[in-house]
Structure 1
Amino acid sequence: MQLYTDAATEPVTKRSAAGILLIDQGQQHQYKQPLPLGDNHTAEFLAAIAGFKTLLDTFGPGQSVFFFTDSQVVAESVSKAYSKNFNVELQTLLHLQDQCQVVITQWIPESENHGAHQLAQQGLHLKP
Protein backbone atom coordinates (compact mmCIF):
# COMPACT_ATOMS: atom_id res chain seq x y z
CA MET A 1 0.00 0.00 0.00
CA GLN A 2 1.29 3.46 -0.86
CA LEU A 3 0.15 6.61 0.95
CA TYR A 4 0.95 10.09 -0.36
CA THR A 5 -0.08 13.16 1.65
CA ASP A 6 0.31 16.88 1.14
CA ALA A 7 -1.06 20.07 2.62
CA ALA A 8 -1.85 23.37 0.98
CA THR A 9 -2.11 26.58 3.00
CA GLU A 10 -3.25 30.03 1.94
CA PRO A 11 -0.74 32.38 3.60
CA VAL A 12 -3.16 35.29 4.09
CA THR A 13 -6.23 33.45 5.39
CA LYS A 14 -4.27 30.56 7.01
CA ARG A 15 -6.86 28.17 5.51
CA SER A 16 -5.39 24.73 4.89
CA ALA A 17 -6.44 21.50 3.23
CA ALA A 18 -5.11 17.97 2.97
CA GLY A 19 -4.64 15.89 -0.13
CA ILE A 20 -4.48 12.14 0.37
CA LEU A 21 -3.66 9.61 -2.32
CA LEU A 22 -3.85 5.92 -1.43
CA ILE A 23 -2.70 3.32 -3.93
CA ASP A 24 -3.69 -0.28 -3.18
CA GLN A 25 -2.78 -2.95 -5.74
CA GLY A 26 -2.65 -0.33 -8.49
CA GLN A 27 -6.04 1.16 -7.58
CA GLN A 28 -6.01 4.87 -6.65
CA HIS A 29 -8.21 6.28 -3.91
CA GLN A 30 -8.27 10.09 -3.76
CA TYR A 31 -9.35 12.21 -0.79
CA LYS A 32 -9.29 15.89 0.06
CA GLN A 33 -10.45 17.67 3.18
CA PRO A 34 -10.22 21.04 4.88
CA LEU A 35 -7.90 21.34 7.87
CA PRO A 36 -7.93 23.73 10.85
CA LEU A 37 -6.45 27.19 10.34
CA GLY A 38 -2.71 27.35 10.86
CA ASP A 39 0.74 27.36 9.34
CA ASN A 40 1.91 25.02 6.58
CA HIS A 41 4.17 22.86 8.78
CA THR A 42 1.30 22.07 11.14
CA ALA A 43 -0.93 21.42 8.14
CA GLU A 44 1.60 18.90 6.76
CA PHE A 45 1.41 16.93 10.02
CA LEU A 46 -2.39 17.15 10.04
CA ALA A 47 -2.48 15.94 6.42
CA ALA A 48 -0.32 12.94 7.34
CA ILE A 49 -2.59 12.21 10.32
CA ALA A 50 -5.66 12.48 8.08
CA GLY A 51 -3.99 10.15 5.58
CA PHE A 52 -3.32 7.44 8.15
CA LYS A 53 -6.82 7.82 9.63
CA THR A 54 -8.29 7.41 6.14
CA LEU A 55 -6.08 4.39 5.46
CA LEU A 56 -7.04 2.73 8.76
CA ASP A 57 -10.75 3.54 8.37
CA THR A 58 -10.80 2.24 4.79
CA PHE A 59 -8.50 -0.79 4.94
CA GLY A 60 -8.22 -1.54 8.67
CA PRO A 61 -5.14 -2.00 10.85
CA GLY A 62 -2.22 -4.28 10.05
CA GLN A 63 -1.32 -2.79 6.66
CA SER A 64 2.20 -2.53 5.28
CA VAL A 65 2.60 1.06 4.10
CA PHE A 66 5.04 3.07 2.05
CA PHE A 67 4.37 6.63 3.26
CA PHE A 68 5.50 9.46 0.99
CA THR A 69 5.62 13.12 2.04
CA ASP A 70 7.23 16.20 0.54
CA SER A 71 7.55 17.72 4.03
CA GLN A 72 11.08 17.31 5.33
CA VAL A 73 9.87 18.27 8.82
CA VAL A 74 7.34 15.43 8.85
CA ALA A 75 9.76 12.87 7.36
CA GLU A 76 12.62 13.77 9.72
CA SER A 77 10.36 13.92 12.77
CA VAL A 78 8.93 10.46 12.04
CA SER A 79 12.44 9.11 11.42
CA LYS A 80 13.72 10.46 14.75
CA ALA A 81 10.41 9.97 16.62
CA TYR A 82 11.05 13.48 17.92
CA SER A 83 9.86 17.01 17.18
CA LYS A 84 10.50 20.05 19.33
CA ASN A 85 7.74 22.17 17.79
CA PHE A 86 5.18 19.58 16.63
CA ASN A 87 5.35 16.92 19.35
CA VAL A 88 1.58 16.59 19.84
CA GLU A 89 0.98 16.13 16.12
CA LEU A 90 3.94 13.75 15.82
CA GLN A 91 2.77 11.58 18.72
CA THR A 92 -0.70 11.35 17.14
CA LEU A 93 0.86 10.36 13.81
CA LEU A 94 3.16 7.76 15.40
CA HIS A 95 0.20 6.27 17.30
CA LEU A 96 -1.67 5.82 14.00
CA GLN A 97 1.41 4.35 12.32
CA ASP A 98 1.76 1.87 15.19
CA GLN A 99 -1.54 0.34 14.06
CA CYS A 100 0.10 -0.67 10.78
CA GLN A 101 2.24 -3.79 10.38
CA VAL A 102 5.11 -1.75 9.00
CA VAL A 103 5.51 1.83 7.79
CA ILE A 104 8.38 2.98 5.62
CA THR A 105 8.49 6.77 5.47
CA GLN A 106 10.13 8.42 2.49
CA TRP A 107 10.66 12.11 1.79
CA ILE A 108 10.08 12.94 -1.86
CA PRO A 109 10.46 16.25 -3.71
CA GLU A 110 7.28 18.22 -4.31
CA SER A 111 7.55 17.45 -8.03
CA GLU A 112 7.02 13.75 -7.24
CA ASN A 113 4.00 14.37 -5.00
CA HIS A 114 1.82 15.86 -7.70
CA GLY A 115 -1.31 13.76 -7.04
CA ALA A 116 -1.58 14.60 -3.34
CA HIS A 117 -0.60 18.21 -4.05
CA GLN A 118 -3.42 18.66 -6.59
CA LEU A 119 -5.92 17.14 -4.15
CA ALA A 120 -4.77 19.51 -1.39
CA GLN A 121 -5.15 22.49 -3.74
CA GLN A 122 -8.67 21.33 -4.61
CA GLY A 123 -9.40 20.90 -0.90
CA LEU A 124 -8.78 24.60 -0.33
CA HIS A 125 -11.93 25.30 -2.31
CA LEU A 126 -14.14 23.06 -0.19
CA LYS A 127 -16.43 24.76 2.29
CA PRO A 128 -14.99 24.47 5.82
Structure 2
Amino acid sequence: MYTLYTDAATNNDTQHSAAGILIVHAGKQQQLHASLPDSDNHYAEFHAALAGFDALLKLLNGAAKTITVQYFTDSKIVAESVEKRYAKHYQALVDQLLAKQAEFNLVITQWLPEKQNQGAHNLAQQALHEND
Protein backbone atom coordinates (compact mmCIF):
# COMPACT_ATOMS: atom_id res chain seq x y z
CA MET A 1 0.00 0.00 0.00
CA TYR A 2 1.10 3.55 -0.76
CA THR A 3 0.05 6.55 1.29
CA LEU A 4 -0.32 9.91 -0.44
CA TYR A 5 -0.70 13.29 1.27
CA THR A 6 -1.30 16.51 -0.68
CA ASP A 7 -1.80 20.13 0.23
CA ALA A 8 -1.97 23.41 -1.64
CA ALA A 9 -0.77 26.86 -0.69
CA THR A 10 -1.99 30.03 -2.38
CA ASN A 11 -0.79 33.61 -2.12
CA ASN A 12 -4.07 35.54 -1.97
CA ASP A 13 -2.46 38.70 -3.37
CA THR A 14 -0.87 37.14 -6.45
CA GLN A 15 -3.00 33.97 -6.77
CA HIS A 16 0.25 31.99 -7.18
CA SER A 17 -0.27 28.45 -5.97
CA ALA A 18 1.93 25.48 -5.16
CA ALA A 19 1.48 21.89 -4.04
CA GLY A 20 3.14 19.78 -1.40
CA ILE A 21 3.17 16.05 -2.06
CA LEU A 22 4.25 13.37 0.37
CA ILE A 23 4.38 9.74 -0.73
CA VAL A 24 5.01 7.06 1.89
CA HIS A 25 5.71 3.40 1.13
CA ALA A 26 7.59 0.67 3.01
CA GLY A 27 8.78 3.11 5.65
CA LYS A 28 10.30 5.53 3.13
CA GLN A 29 9.10 9.01 2.21
CA GLN A 30 9.30 10.88 -1.05
CA GLN A 31 8.81 14.62 -0.60
CA LEU A 32 7.83 16.62 -3.66
CA HIS A 33 6.45 20.01 -4.49
CA ALA A 34 5.06 21.50 -7.66
CA SER A 35 3.96 24.83 -9.05
CA LEU A 36 0.24 24.99 -9.79
CA PRO A 37 -1.84 27.20 -12.06
CA ASP A 38 -2.67 30.57 -10.51
CA SER A 39 -6.02 30.18 -8.79
CA ASP A 40 -7.93 30.42 -5.55
CA ASN A 41 -7.26 27.88 -2.82
CA HIS A 42 -10.13 25.51 -3.71
CA TYR A 43 -8.92 25.11 -7.29
CA ALA A 44 -5.37 24.78 -6.00
CA GLU A 45 -6.37 21.92 -3.68
CA PHE A 46 -7.82 19.98 -6.64
CA HIS A 47 -4.70 20.70 -8.71
CA ALA A 48 -2.51 19.57 -5.78
CA ALA A 49 -4.43 16.28 -5.64
CA LEU A 50 -3.97 15.83 -9.40
CA ALA A 51 -0.25 16.58 -9.09
CA GLY A 52 0.03 14.05 -6.27
CA PHE A 53 -1.60 11.28 -8.26
CA ASP A 54 0.50 12.20 -11.32
CA ALA A 55 3.65 11.89 -9.19
CA LEU A 56 2.51 8.54 -7.82
CA LEU A 57 1.68 7.22 -11.30
CA LYS A 58 5.11 8.30 -12.53
CA LEU A 59 6.81 6.64 -9.56
CA LEU A 60 4.95 3.36 -10.13
CA ASN A 61 5.80 3.35 -13.84
CA GLY A 62 2.84 1.35 -15.09
CA ALA A 63 2.21 -0.82 -12.01
CA ALA A 64 -0.66 1.28 -10.61
CA LYS A 65 -3.42 -1.26 -11.38
CA THR A 66 -2.16 -3.53 -8.61
CA ILE A 67 -1.69 -0.80 -5.99
CA THR A 68 -3.92 0.35 -3.14
CA VAL A 69 -3.54 4.01 -2.19
CA GLN A 70 -4.58 5.65 1.02
CA TYR A 71 -5.02 9.31 0.09
CA PHE A 72 -5.14 12.09 2.68
CA THR A 73 -6.15 15.69 2.09
CA ASP A 74 -7.00 18.50 4.48
CA SER A 75 -9.39 19.94 1.90
CA LYS A 76 -12.95 19.04 2.79
CA ILE A 77 -14.16 20.05 -0.67
CA VAL A 78 -11.73 17.64 -2.36
CA ALA A 79 -12.52 14.75 -0.01
CA GLU A 80 -16.28 15.27 -0.17
CA SER A 81 -16.30 15.81 -3.94
CA VAL A 82 -14.42 12.55 -4.53
CA GLU A 83 -16.80 10.72 -2.21
CA LYS A 84 -19.88 12.16 -3.95
CA ARG A 85 -18.23 12.12 -7.39
CA TYR A 86 -19.64 15.63 -7.79
CA ALA A 87 -18.79 19.28 -7.14
CA LYS A 88 -20.98 22.04 -8.50
CA HIS A 89 -18.18 24.47 -9.42
CA TYR A 90 -15.30 22.02 -9.81
CA GLN A 91 -16.79 19.11 -11.74
CA ALA A 92 -14.13 19.07 -14.47
CA LEU A 93 -11.41 18.77 -11.84
CA VAL A 94 -13.37 16.10 -9.94
CA ASP A 95 -13.70 14.11 -13.17
CA GLN A 96 -9.94 14.40 -13.83
CA LEU A 97 -9.14 13.30 -10.28
CA LEU A 98 -11.53 10.34 -10.43
CA ALA A 99 -9.97 9.27 -13.75
CA LYS A 100 -6.49 9.30 -12.20
CA GLN A 101 -7.74 7.38 -9.16
CA ALA A 102 -9.33 4.79 -11.46
CA GLU A 103 -5.82 3.85 -12.66
CA PHE A 104 -5.19 2.23 -9.26
CA ASN A 105 -6.59 -0.98 -7.82
CA LEU A 106 -8.20 0.93 -4.94
CA VAL A 107 -8.01 4.48 -3.59
CA ILE A 108 -9.26 5.29 -0.11
CA THR A 109 -9.69 9.04 0.24
CA GLN A 110 -9.79 10.52 3.72
CA TRP A 111 -10.02 14.06 5.03
CA LEU A 112 -7.76 14.97 7.91
CA PRO A 113 -7.31 18.20 9.88
CA GLU A 114 -4.64 20.59 8.61
CA LYS A 115 -2.52 20.08 11.72
CA GLN A 116 -2.25 16.37 10.82
CA ASN A 117 -1.11 17.16 7.28
CA GLN A 118 1.99 19.14 8.21
CA GLY A 119 4.36 17.26 5.89
CA ALA A 120 2.48 18.16 2.72
CA HIS A 121 1.58 21.59 4.13
CA ASN A 122 5.23 22.51 4.77
CA LEU A 123 6.26 21.33 1.31
CA ALA A 124 3.51 23.45 -0.28
CA GLN A 125 4.59 26.50 1.71
CA GLN A 126 8.22 26.00 0.69
CA ALA A 127 7.27 25.73 -2.96
CA LEU A 128 5.09 28.82 -2.78
CA HIS A 129 7.88 30.88 -1.22
CA GLU A 130 10.34 29.67 -3.87
CA ASN A 131 7.95 30.81 -6.61
CA ASP A 132 7.02 34.22 -5.13
The normalised TM-score by structure 1 is 0.97
Q: Which of 83, 103, 110 is 2:107 aligned to?
A: 103
Matches within 5 A, 1:18-29: 18-29=19-30
Mapped to 2, the partners of 1:112 and 1:122 lie a distance apart of 17
Q: Which moved more, 1:102-111 or 1:117-126?
A: 117-126
Dislocated runs of 4+, deviation >4 Å: none
Residue type at the aligned position of 1:114: Q
Mapped to 1, the partners of 2:106 and 2:130 lie a distance apart of 33
Identity of aligned residues (%): 51
Report the equivalent of 2:60: 59
Secondary structure (helix, strand or coil) at the match of 1:5 reads strand
Q: 8 Å contact 1:33–1:126 — kept in the other structure? A: no
Residue type at the aligned position of 1:10: N
Shift of 1:127: 3.9
Report the equivalent of 1:116: 120
Secondary structure (helix, strand or coil) at the match of 1:49 reads helix
Matches within 5 A, 1:1-128: 1-60=2-61, 61-62=64-65, 63-127=67-131
Mapped to 2, the partners of 1:127 and 1:16 lie a distance apart of 9
Q: 8 Å contact 1:3–1:21 — kept in the other structure? A: yes
Mapped to 2, the partners of 1:118 and 1:42 lie a distance apart of 19
Secondary structure (helix, strand or coil) at the match of 1:126 reads helix
Structure 2: give runs of 5+ residues left out of the alignment: none
Structure 1: give runs of 5+ residues left out of the alignment: none
Secondary structure (helix, strand or coil) at the match of 1:125 reads helix
Shift of 1:59: 1.2
Shift of 1:126: 3.0
Higher helix share: 2
Mapped to 2, the partners of 1:82 and 1:89 lie a distance apart of 10
